[in-house]
Amino acid sequence: QAQLVESGGGVVQPGRSLRVSCAASGFTFNSYAMHWVRQAPGKGPEWVAVISYDGIYKSYADSVKGRFTISRVNSQNTLHLQMNSLTTEDTAKYSCARAQGLNGDVFDMWGQGTMVTVSS
């Protein structure tokens, strides 16, 4: 059964760094673009970043550009999000999502998410 499982969340102080990861299984990971989407408590989802199937193309939301880096290791079926210079505004559940084959910016599979809390 195809699934996405995130890990690496936790509590971190403002200004520090954290890396969250997403393990994919049950589908051909290297055929799909992948996204990160976050959702702050009580708020709607916010798109964070996308990476192409081969890792060459990347795009970021303005709110994280220059601080976050999306990457993937296709040989390990793993997606990463390196988050630097974290602020309290980055507190959210971070979910990875698979891009639909037809529309690369529609999310046809989601993970459960990993919670990142930025607090002193």
Two tokens at 93? Answer: 């559940």
Q: b/e per residue, 68-85, with b = 16+ CB within 10 A? A: bbbebeeeebbbbbebee
Q: How far is the CB of 45 from other proteins (least distance, A)?
A: 5
Distance CA 116, CA 1 (A): 27
For residues 39 and 117, which CB has a smaller minimum distance to other proteins in the complex? 39
Contacting positions for other proteins (CB under 8 A): 4, 35, 44-47, 50, 59, 61-62, 95, 97, 100, 102-103, 105-112
Q: How far is the CB of 69 from other proteins (least distance, A)?
A: 17
For residues 56 and 62, which CB has a smaller minimum distance to other proteins in the complex? 62
For residues 16 and 65, which CB has a smaller minimum distance to other proteins in the complex? 65
Q: How far is the CB of 106 from other proteins (least distance, A)?
A: 5
Q: How far is the CB of 108 from other proteins (least distance, A)?
A: 5
For residues 54 and 108, which CB has a smaller minimum distance to other proteins in the complex? 108
Q: b/e per residue, 44-63, with b = 16+ CB within 10 A? A: eeebbbbbebebeeeebeee
